Amino acid sequence: MAGGSLLALLDDITTILDDVSVMTKVAAKKTAGVLGDDLALNAQQVSGVNADRELPVVWAVAKGSLLNKVILVPAALLISTFLPWAVIPLLMIGGAYLCFEGVEKVVHTFFHKKHETTNEPAVVIPESTEKEKIKGAIRTDFILSAEIIVIALGTVAGASFGIQVTVLSGIALVMTIGVYGLVAGIVKLDDLGLWLLKPEFNKVFRKMGSAILKLAPWLMKGLSVAGTIAMFLVGGQIIVHGIPFIHHLLTDTANHIPLFSSLIEMTGNALFGILVGFVVLGGVMTISKLRKNRI
């Protein structure tokens, strides 16, 4: 009897592990697109940091990201159990913040271009600015992580509580290690290029090093642009999905042109995200002016 009970227990454990594995794979596939945006956004946040501070900044943001997951996983489980109606409004607030942050970056970039001079030497980023970049990256990570956790939660909605916890925790951990591991690798590409230029390496490796050094700045600029676009894509998509009328209108329009349906939906989400960002920015600026007038 004892042997039979042990075999039954092992069989149950194997079944649970198999269910967890399958659901984790499904959740990972569904969140892959957002993970790409997460990577672009976080690589963007590190751009402009002094070379010797890049890895410490990435590590600081990664620790903040892990803390975000520690908060989000139980919060998502509790909200989906007791306040399921609140999930979409909370995500929409986060999406609006992403759009606002994206518009703010665009406005800041274009405004300051008028005042920049190319002859000025590179300025060392002060510690206070570095801390602000870290805080901003962690805030952005919180919103993207929330969306990923909610998407993953949707794939295990019908599973037992134990499987839900295991899958969400697994996705959260793999996501954090994967994204910030890649970010650390990207920001240190120039160091790899310099290392390959050492005299002890042959011409092939030195040419590779030279190519990496030329590519690295363009890659960081590209990721910076991609990160800003991702803010509008992700934020706009979250908000559009939360407004059924707009979501159905955009989907129906895209379905009329099957060949470009994905492109139409992405463009629609991004444009709506930009619109929301400007609306929120206008609101923030108005409130700020009213507060100044009262003082």
- Give pLDDT tens digits for 166-190: 888 888 888 888 888 888 888 788 8
Q: Choose among 6, 167, 138: nearest CA to 76.
A: 167
16 in any annotated domain: no
Residue 92 lies in a domain: yes
Identify whether the C-beta of residue 152 lies closer than 8 Å to the C-beta of residue 69.
no
Residue 57: inside a domain: yes
Residue span of the structural domain in which 62 resides: 25-115+123-294
Element spanning 270, H or E: helix 261-294
Has residue 213 been placed in a domain?
yes
- Would you say residue 5 lies in a domain? no
In angstroms, rounded to a whole number, what is the distance separating the alpha carbons of residues 268 and 262?
A: 10
| Residue 252 placed within a domain | yes
The answer to whether residue 255 sits within a structural domain is yes
Name the one residue in this structure whose structure tokens are 């969140």: 31
This model's pTM is above 0.85:
no
| C-alpha–C-alpha distance, residues 238 and 93, integer Å | 9
Instruction: Tell me the percentage of the chain whose pLDDT exceeds 90.
Output: 8
pLDDT in tens, 102-123: 898 888 877 765 555 444 444 4
Count up the domains in the chain and report the number. 1
Helices (H) and strands (E) in the chain, counts: 9, 0
Residue (of 170, 121, 115) closest to 148 by Cα position: 170
Confirm whether 63 is domain-assigned. Answer: yes
